[in-house]
Structure 1
Amino acid sequence: MAHPALKNAWPIPRRIVQRTRGHGQGFITRLMSPADLGQALKPFVFLDIFDADRAMLQAVERSGGMPIHPHSGVATVTVITQGHARYDDPAIGAGEIAYGGVEWMRAGGGVWHGKEMTAGDVSRMQGFQLWLALPPELENGPAESRYIDAGDMPYAWPAHIIVGKYGDVRSPVPAPDGINYLLVTMRPGESWSYAPPAGHSVGWLALAKGMLDAGSTVSAGEMAIFENGEAPISLEATGSEDAVFVLGSAVPHPHPLHLGHYSVHTSAEALAAGERRIAELGQKLKEAGDRQTASGSVPVFR
């Protein structure tokens, strides 16, 4: 048993100050956007959770799937919590992304995407897509994509390190410094205290499955935002099934958010440059014609 004086010296865990279940359309629920929680949690500016059974996946495929659309000024990070997705890009290769793997796409000055991954032959597919606001030196820079299999992603119990560094373990994803993004599974009854790196005063989590005690109960489908600070985030998996969630912490993004339809930039000038590049790429995309691969995916257009 800890001595009372020592116990009182331990950091007080961070409290949840806001929570949301977002708003959904079909199998996608938007938990955060740049116009709402993204203003408080930047560089994390957008978060969707998607959850589709086989019938939904087949219906999406029959309807033509997600439309190709542009981005600039952000990076997108996609992780799978159940099932798997296939990717096929002649410039990068082909493979599968399942739990623990990641699709990283830095839009930079502009890209068009939306069909680079297709659902695998699974009964259910679930996961998260996150947007990160980029700093001025990257927001109008070159675009890049990486697909990293779970076997090549580092793990430090209880988390795959998707972005950033946790302890001595660093992700291979080439994200800007000052951002951690973890994919975590905890078994019922397990406890974990996440100690953020120095300066990471932004903190949040979103739960895909199970239940967590984070000072109060967080249940599946919910996003919880923690008070600003650098105190630990203390969690216990409760309920009868594993708790599967993503957790983000970061140094606050010091720039205002200038928003386009699919873009987030640090200034009006940078946004205008990104939108010009998107328009130029859009014209070239039309001229490129059918780019569908044999597996049915369409590579990112940079």
Structure 2
Amino acid sequence: MMPFQQQPQIGIRDTAAHRAIRYRTTGSGHGAIVRLMSPSDLGHLVKPFVFLDLFEGESSFINGMPMHPHSGIATVTVITEGNLRFEDAESGTGMIDYGGVEWMRAGGGVWHGKEMSVGTSRRIQGFQLWVALPPALENATVDSQYLESSVMPQVGPARVILGSYLGVQSPVRAPAGMNYLLVTLPAGESWSYVPPEGHESLWLSVSRGSLCAPERVLAGEMVIFEPGSGTVTLKAMHNDTVFVIGSAQPHPYDLALGNYSVHTNPQALRAGEAKIAEIGARLRDYLKKPNPSASVPVFK
């Protein structure tokens, strides 16, 4: 992760209309993937949002994603350009394009990584977000959803990916207390986000174009706003601008971190990692069979 910069605090209290940016980062690149936030850095500031990747490149890079485990979190993948095909034993097959969503509640443990494959587009862009789960769900059973863009509700320029906004509820089975929106603003247009009551954490990240917030936020940046309840007004600069914005009630738990896991305490982390190891052993045995299926989208 590249160093992030704390914004000057001068003048914040001079105007209630200005919700200042506290941190900004351009992350660190890993090929087609840029890691903007991890649980060990900015994730502590905006939890339950604890991890954010921006991915962009030739669609074929998705073929190189290995099977890998998670526990204690949910992953949310949103497509902002191009499309990917999904395949799941329980959900069937389909295509996710702009505004489409993959939701994977890892809970007590899961291995995945092959449920998404190349679609019809040459290039792909999108975000993957991790959400820390509350104690009641962090070691629960796996729950996954693959939602095509046609079923995702919209309020003005915003797709409601998680939560509820202005009376419109996302179909994603996410815990209460958080919102996650995908917004496209035409050049020169403004849009205001009014956080629900109690949503003190607020951040956004731009994938295309640039915003005035009122400081400029460029494509590839993530910014975190000062804690509070105030509205933030955003204006697309010279080009159409695509960004995600998240707000939430603060996650009132510590982050117990593993290599692929985030839990609320060390005991829950040990349980999750033990389950991951057990599933991994079964997965390796399965792959040694003479004629395993061509793909193993999810193993739980």
Shift >3 Å, 4+ stretches: 290-293
Between the aligned partners of 2:108 and 2:250, the Cα distance in structure 1 is: 22
Q: Is 1:284 aligned to residue 289 of structure 2? A: no
Kept after mapping to 2: 8 A contact 1:11/1:232: no
Kept after mapping to 2: 8 A contact 1:65/1:115: no
Deviation at 1:124, TM superposition (A): 1.1
Q: 2:261 aligns with which of 255, 260, 263?
A: 263
Deviation at 1:31, TM superposition (A): 0.1
1:12-71: CA deviation from partner (whole Å, max 9, x where unpaired): 131111100000010100000000000111000000000003xxx44x36xx61111000
TM norm structure 2: 0.92
Q: Structure 1 unaligned segments of length 5 or more: list them.
A: 1-9
Between the aligned partners of 1:11 and 1:119, the Cα distance in structure 2 is: 47
Deviation at 1:122, TM superposition (A): 1.3
Q: How does 1:154-193 map to 2 (within 5 A)?
A: 154-193=153-192
Between the aligned partners of 1:245 and 1:220, the Cα distance in structure 2 is: 9
Q: How does 1:230-245 map to 2 (within 5 A)?
A: 230-239=229-238, 241-245=239-243
Task: Name the aligned partner's letter for residue 256 of structure 1.
Answer: D
Q: Which residue of structure 2 lines up, in the alignment, with residue 139 of structure 1?
A: 138
Between the aligned partners of 2:213 and 2:48, the Cα distance in structure 1 is: 23
SS at match of 1:138: helix
Q: How does 1:16-165 map to 2 (within 5 A)?
A: 16-53=21-58, 57-58=59-60, 60=61, 65-165=64-164
Q: How does 1:191-206 map to 2 (within 5 A)?
A: 191-206=190-205
Q: Which residue of structure 2 lines up, in the alignment, with residue 6 of structure 1?
A: none
SS at match of 1:249: strand
Kept after mapping to 2: 8 A contact 1:77/1:105: yes
1:197-254: CA deviation from partner (whole Å, max 9, x where unpaired): 0000000000000010001100100001100000001100011x21000000000000
Deviation at 1:291, TM superposition (A): 5.3
Instruction: Give the CA RMSD over aligned residues.
Output: 1.3
Between the aligned partners of 1:27 and 1:113, the Cα distance in structure 2 is: 19
Between the aligned partners of 1:245 and 1:270, the Cα distance in structure 2 is: 34
Between the aligned partners of 1:123 and 1:87, the Cα distance in structure 2 is: 16
Q: Which residue of structure 2 lines up, in the alignment, with residue 7 of structure 1?
A: none
SS at match of 1:284: helix
Kept after mapping to 2: 8 A contact 1:292/1:299: no
SS at match of 1:298: coil
Identity %: 57
1:44-99: CA deviation from partner (whole Å, max 9, x where unpaired): 0000000003xxx44x36xx611110000000000000000001112210001111
Number of equivalenced pairs: 283
Do the aligned partners of residues 291 and 156 (structure 1) sit closer, same or farther apart at CA in structure 2, a change above 3 Å counting? farther
Between the aligned partners of 1:113 and 1:13, the Cα distance in structure 2 is: 42
Kept after mapping to 2: 8 A contact 1:69/1:113: yes
1:151-194: CA deviation from partner (whole Å, max 9, x where unpaired): 11110011100000000100010111100000000000111110
Deviation at 1:292, TM superposition (A): 4.5
Deviation at 1:121, TM superposition (A): 2.5
Deviates more, 1:241-250 or 1:115-124: 115-124
Do the aligned partners of residues 291 and 190 (structure 1) sit closer, same or farther apart at CA in structure 2, a change above 3 Å counting? farther
Task: Name the aligned partner's letter for residue 64 of structure 2.
Answer: G
